[in-house]
Amino acid sequence: MAIKDIFLPLVGEPDAAAIAAIEKCMEVAGDIGARVIALAVEEEVSFRPKVVISPDIENKEAAAAERSVANARGLLKAFEAAANRFSIRNEQRISRLPPADVLANFAASARLVDLSIVPVKTHDDRSEKLVERLIFESGRPILMCPEGIVSELPVGFDRVAIAWDHTAPAARAVADALPLLEDAADVRIITATDEKTSAEIESGAALARHLAQHEINATFEAISIDGSSVGKVFEAYVKKNAIDLLVMGAYRHSRLNQTVWGGATKTVIGQPPCWVMMSH
């Protein structure tokens, strides 16, 4: 099934990096041929009764409210300019919400599209929380655009790597990525392991046979972890092989486990090494 609708949540400040990421996301949407729905949020800042507030606090809260409005409108302006530049069908929305409701609103909006595309800042708490909320509550895949390397990112996904571990999230990610895999010239199935058991090898080979039913010619290889973390292994593989898109399932273990002990999902969300499509 082709990707027809893409959701683009707009958060943060409309600085040069954010604008460049929005432009790259829109260029990719244009290449896919999808409509893009952008949502920006003006955060409601509560003002305390004047009888218990000092002028300094009141001024600080008023400035935060004004900054939130300016940021939302600035991001939408950048979105509109990119949509016009690439002649992309689009819809623009702006909501006014309490800060505590912003992420839930994004997740609800993402349920009615085929894919969410999310600009991600490196090791940024807000970006990570947004990505996690979309992964767990939207029921849809996400495509992460790393702002830190946006100038290096391709528009098309010719070389794709699938991170495969035979789990349900990985299988879901493969299914969600089929429209992109079908257009790729080079698809690689990779399993990070130091054991290379017969079960792992057969699982990778079976996935390649499954993809062949969709006329996708994929190769399989097991890559050594060798004392590193799985996330870092993926990053090294992406760079060494000039991978355009990494497809992976999110959170094989519990979120608490990932938070305490790290993990491939957390590593990749914190610093995506390329375009990353993730599902759960």
- 9 and 146 assigned to the same domain: yes
The pLDDT of residue 255 is 47
Tell me the pLDDT band of 195, cut-offs 50, 70 and 90: confident
Q: What is the pLDDT of residues 225-235, one digit of tens each?
A: 988 889 999 99
Residues pairing with 161 in the sheet: 188, 246
Q: Which residue has the higher pLDDT, 266 or 45?
A: 266
Residue 11 has pLDDT above 90, yes or no: yes
- 258 and 243 assigned to the same domain: yes
User: How many percent of the chain have pLDDT more than 70?
Assistant: 90
Lowest mean pLDDT segment, chosen from 24-38, 194-208, 253-267: 253-267
The pLDDT of residue 66 is 83
Residue 260 has pLDDT above 50, yes or no: no
Q: What is the pTM of this model?
A: 0.91
- 91 and 162 assigned to the same domain: no
The pLDDT of residue 84 is 97
- 191 and 178 assigned to the same domain: yes
Gyration radius (Cα) of the chain, Å: 20
The pLDDT of residue 258 is 45
Among residues 151, 169, 192, the one where a domain terminates is: 151
Q: What is the pLDDT of residues 55-113, one digit of tens each?
A: 555 566 677 778 889 999 999 999 999 999 999 999 999 999 999 999 999 999 999 99
- 196 and 133 assigned to the same domain: no
The pLDDT of residue 94 is 95
* Sequence-separated (6 or more) residues with CB below 8 Å from residue 36: 5, 6, 7, 8, 25, 26, 29, 83, 88, 89, 90, 91, 117
Cα gap 129→226, rounded to integer Å: 30
Per DSSP, helices labelled H in 49-95 are 55-85
Among residues 136, 151, 166, the one where a domain terminates is: 151
Tell me the pLDDT band of 151, cut-offs 50, 70 and 90: very high
Q: Which residue has the higher pLDDT, 65 or 173?
A: 173
- 50 and 80 assigned to the same domain: yes
Helix axis angle for 125-137 and 102-110, nearest 10°, is 40
Among residues 102, 121, 151, the one where a domain terminates is: 151
Question: What strands, in cross-sheet order, belong to the sheet with 218-223?
Answer: 90-97, 35-43, 5-10, 115-120, 142-146, 275-279, 245-249, 159-163, 186-192, 218-223
Domain containing residue 42: 5-151
The pLDDT of residue 275 is 98
Find, among 197, 176, 195, the residue nearest to 245 by Cα: 176
- 217 and 251 assigned to the same domain: yes
Q: How many domains does the chain have?
A: 2
220: domain CATH number is 3.40.50.620
